[in-house]
C-alpha cells in the first residue's frame, strides 16, 4: 500500500525513477515493492516481506537470488581482471572459454559467438549481421525480417520492430521491412472444425504466401522463439517447426531461434530447438546465460553464417560493430559458472519438477474460469476466460489477470499477468515444496478474484 511517509522506499522510488512496463495507476494505488535481498527463490523487500518469485525475476534468475557459486565466480574474476573489451584483436581468457563452451553446447559442429549486453542487442546485432551480408554479397535488397504476431524480441528500435506486440505502435514501430506472420496458438486461433495439424499447415502456407508476395530474395531471416515467452507462454502447434523449416530452406531464408528464454534448460533440454527437434542457422541467447547475474547476450552463429560473416568482414578488413562491454570477463566467468550449475544438476531438476509443475497447472485449469493451461518444462501459463465453452475472454476493463497477480503479491507470491493469462516460470533451484506453495497461493488468488468478477 502507498503510505504517507515521504522518506519511505516506495515514495523515494516513485519520486526519481522512471518505471518501464509498469501500470502507473496500480503503482500509485499499491506502492512499489523495493527489493533488498534474495533467499534462494525468494525475494525480501525493504519492509521485510518475503515473496516466492514464480517468474525467476524476468525468466532469468534460474539459480535463485543469492547463489554463492555465482557470487564467488564474480568476485574472483573482479579481483583478477575487472573488465575488458573484445575489440582490436584483444579479449579476455574467460571470453575465449565461454565461446568454446557455447559452441560445444550448441547444435552446431562449429560456429562463432558475438557478445552483447542484452537480448535486444543480440537481436539487433543479428539483423545488422544480415544487413552486412546483404551488402557484402551483392544482394542489397535482402533486408526484410519475418517474425510472428505475439513474438517478443526486445525493445531497441530494431528488436521492437521484430516484436509482434500492439504497444509498439506508440513509437511508430515497426520500421518498414519488419513483417509479422500468424501466431501458432491453436487453442486461440484454430478455426471452427480445424484440427491442430490443419492449423499448422495453414500457418505454413501463410508463411510461404508471405514470402512469395514479398519476394523471397528480399527476406533476410525468419526469427522465432521455440516457445513464445512474453507472448503468454505459447508452445508451437504440433509439427510447426517441421512444417516451416522446409519452406524457409526452399527459399534460402535462415531460421533463427530466439532462445533468450528457452535457452539453458527452461524447456527441459539445453535449447528450445532441441525440445522441438529443429536445427536453426543461429541462436540468440541472454537471460539465463548468466542466470541473471550479469547483463549479457550472445549471437551464436552456426557454421554457414559464421563463414559468411568472416568472409564479408575480411573483404572490408573488419566487422564494424561491437559494444564497449561485449564479452566482459566478469560476465563470461559468471556465464561459465552458471552453465556449470545447469549441467551439474539444475537442468536435471527442471526435468524432475516438470511432472509436478504440469499437474499443478492442470489442476488449476479445472476451474470454470480457466480456459487453458499450456507450457513446456518449467514455463507455463493459465488463461482466464469468462466462459470456458466459448473461450470468451473477460472484459479488458476488469483487469482480471492483473488482479490475480496483485492478490498473489499480497500473499507473498510474485507471478506475472500477460494479456488474460498468468505466467509461471519458477527458478530451476525450486523444490516440489516451492511448487506446492506457488500453486496453493495462486489457487487462493484465483478463487478470490473469480468470486469478485463472477
Ligand atoms: C527478454 C527477451 C528479449 C530481450 O532481452 P533484453 O535482455 O530484455 O533486451 C529478446 N527475446 C526474447 C525471447 C526475450 O524473452
Q: Is 148 in the pocket of ligand 1 (CB under 6 A)?
A: no
Question: Which residues, 6+ apart, have CB-to-CB distance to 228 below 8 Å?
Answer: 148, 150, 151, 152, 183, 185, 234
Model confidence at 332, pLDDT cuts 50, 70, 90, reads very high
Could you report the per-residue pLDDT of 60-97, keeping only the tens digit for each?
999 999 999 999 999 999 999 999 999 999 999 999 99
Model confidence at 14, pLDDT cuts 50, 70, 90, reads confident
Q: Please give the full DSSP string across 23-76, using - where no structure is assigned.
A: -HHHHHHH----EEEEETTEEEETTS-EEEETTHHHHT-TT-SS-HHHHHHHHH
**392 has pLDDT over 70:** yes
Residue 327, judged by CB atoms within 10 A of its CB (0-12, 13-18, 19+), counts as buried
Give 440's DSSP letter. Answer: H
Please name the residue that has the C-alpha cell 518505471: 19
Q: Is 286 in the pocket of ligand 1 (CB under 6 A)?
A: yes
Closest by alpha carbon to 224, among 123, 105, 103? Answer: 123
Are 257 and 282 in contact by the 8 Å Cβ rule? The answer is yes
Listed range (23-37, 243-257, 319-333, 419-433) with the worst mean pLDDT: 23-37
Looking at CATH, the fold of the domain delimited by 33-66+347-453 is given as 3.90.1150
Cα-Cα-Cα-Cα dihedral of 161, 162, 166, 169, to 10°?
Answer: 0
Could you report the per-residue pLDDT of 225-284, keeping only the tens digit for each?
999 999 999 999 999 999 999 999 999 999 999 999 999 999 999 999 999 999 999 999
Mean pLDDT estimate for the chain: 97
Q: Is 263 in the pocket of ligand 1 (CB under 6 A)?
A: no
**Residue minimizing CA distance to atom 9 of ligand 1:** 120
Q: Is 152 in the pocket of ligand 1 (CB under 6 A)?
A: yes
Hey, CA dihedral for 353, 354, 358, 361, is it positive or negative? Answer: positive
Q: Report the distance separating Cα 76 and Cα 166, nearest Å.
A: 44
Model confidence at 28, pLDDT cuts 50, 70, 90, reads confident
CB-based burial, 412-431: b 16+ in 10 Å, e otherwise? ebbbbbbbbbbbbbbbbbbe
Model confidence at 3, pLDDT cuts 50, 70, 90, reads low
Could you report the per-residue pLDDT of 180-233, keeping only the tens digit for each?
999 999 999 999 999 999 999 999 999 999 999 999 999 999 999 999 999 999
291 CA → ligand 1 middle, Å: 14
**Residue minimizing CA distance to atom 6 of ligand 1:** 119
Q: Among 55, 59, 153, 297, say which to mutate for ligand 1: greatest number of ligand atoms within 8 Å of CB.
A: 153
CATH code: domain 84-327 is 3.40.640.10
Length of the chain: 454
Q: Is 118 in the pocket of ligand 1 (CB under 6 A)?
A: yes
Average pLDDT over residues 336-365: 98
Could you report the per-residue pLDDT of 102-114, keeping only the tens digit for each?
999 999 999 999 9
Taking the CA of residue 154 as reference, the ligand 1 atom at the shortest distance is 4
In the chain, where are the structural domains located? Answer: 33-66+347-453, 84-327
Could you report the per-residue pLDDT of 196-209, keeping only the tens digit for each?
999 999 999 999 99
Looking at residue 1, its pLDDT comes to 57
Amino acid at each position: 500500500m502507498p503510505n504517507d511517509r515521504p522518506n519511505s522506499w516506495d515514495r523515494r522510488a516513485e519520486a526519481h525513477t522512471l518505471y518501464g512496463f509498469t501500470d502507473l495507476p496500480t503503482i500509485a494505488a499499491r506502492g512499489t515493492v523495493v527489493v533488498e535481498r534474495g533467499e534462494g527463490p525468494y525475494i525480501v523487500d525493504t519492509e521485510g516481506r518475503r515473496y516466492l518469485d514464480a517468474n525467476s525475476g524476468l525468466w532469468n534468475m534460474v539459480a535463485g537470488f543469492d547463489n554463492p557459486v555465482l557470487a564467488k565466480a564474480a568476485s574472483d574474476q573482479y579481483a583478477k581482471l575487472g573488465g575488458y573489451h573484445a575489440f582490436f584483436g584483444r579479449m579476455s581468457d574467460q571470453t575465449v572459454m565461454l565461446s568454446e563452451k557455447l559452441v560445444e553446447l550448441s547444435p552446431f559442429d562449429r560456429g562463432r559467438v558475438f557478445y552483447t549486453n542484452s537480448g535486444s542487442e543480440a537481436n539487433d546485432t543479428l539483423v545488422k549481421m544480415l544487413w552486412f551480408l546483404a551488402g557484402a554479397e551483392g544482394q542489397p535488397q535482402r533486408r526484410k525480417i519475418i517474425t510472428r504476431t505475439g513474438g517478443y524480441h526486445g525493445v531497441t528500435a530494431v528488436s521492437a520492430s521484430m516484436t509482434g506486440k500492439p504497444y509498439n505502435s506508440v513509437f511508430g514501430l515497426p520500421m518498414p521491412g519488419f513483417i509479422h506472420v500468424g501466431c501458432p496458438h491453436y487453442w486461440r486461433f484454430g478455426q471452427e472444425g480445424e484440427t491442430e495439424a490443419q492449423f499448422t499447415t495453414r500457418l505454413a502456407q501463410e508463411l510461404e504466401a508471405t514470402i512469395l508476395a514479398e519476394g523471397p530474395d528480399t527476406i533476410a531471416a525468419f526469427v522465432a522463439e521455440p516457445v513464445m515467452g512474453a507472448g503468454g507462454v505459447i508452445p508451437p502447434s504440433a509439427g510447426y517447426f517441421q512444417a516451416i523449416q522446409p519452406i524457409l530452406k526452399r527459399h534460402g531464408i535462415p531460421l533463427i531461434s530466439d532462445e533468450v528464454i528457452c535457452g539453458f534448460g527452461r524447456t527441459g533440454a539445453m535449447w528450445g530447438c532441441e525440445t522441438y527437434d529443429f536445427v536453426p542457422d543461429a541462436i540468440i541467447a541472454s537471460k539465463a546465460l548468466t542466470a541473471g547475474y550479469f547483463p549479457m547476450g550472445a549471437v551464436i552463429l552456426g557454421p554457414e553464417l559464421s563463414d559468411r560473416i568472416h568472409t564479408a568482414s575480411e573483404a572490408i578488413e573488419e566487422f564494424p560493430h561491437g559494444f564497449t562491454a561485449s564479452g566482459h570477463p566478469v560476465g563470461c566467468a559468471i556465464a561459465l559458472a552458471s552453465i556449470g550449475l545447469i549441467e551439474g544438476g539444475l537442468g536435471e531438476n527442471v526435468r524432475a519438477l516438470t511432472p509436478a509443475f504440469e499437474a499443478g497447472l492442470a489442476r488449476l485449469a479445472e476451474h470454470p474460469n480457466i480456459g487453458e493451461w499450456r507450457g513446456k518444462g518449467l514455463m507455463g501459463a493459465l488463461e482466464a476466460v469468462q466462459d470456458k465453452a466459448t473461450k470468451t475472454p473477460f472484459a479488458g476493463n476488469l483487469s482480471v489477470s492483473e488482479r490475480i497477480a496483485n492478490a498473489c503479491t499480497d500473499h507473498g507470491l510474485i507471478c506475472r499477468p500477460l494479456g488474460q493469462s498468468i505466467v509461471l516460470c519458477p527458478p530451476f533451484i525450486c523444490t516440489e515444496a516451492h511448487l506446492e506453495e506457488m500453486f496453493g497461493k495462486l489457487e487462493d488468488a484465483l478463487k478470490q478474484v473469480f468470486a469478485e468478477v463472477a
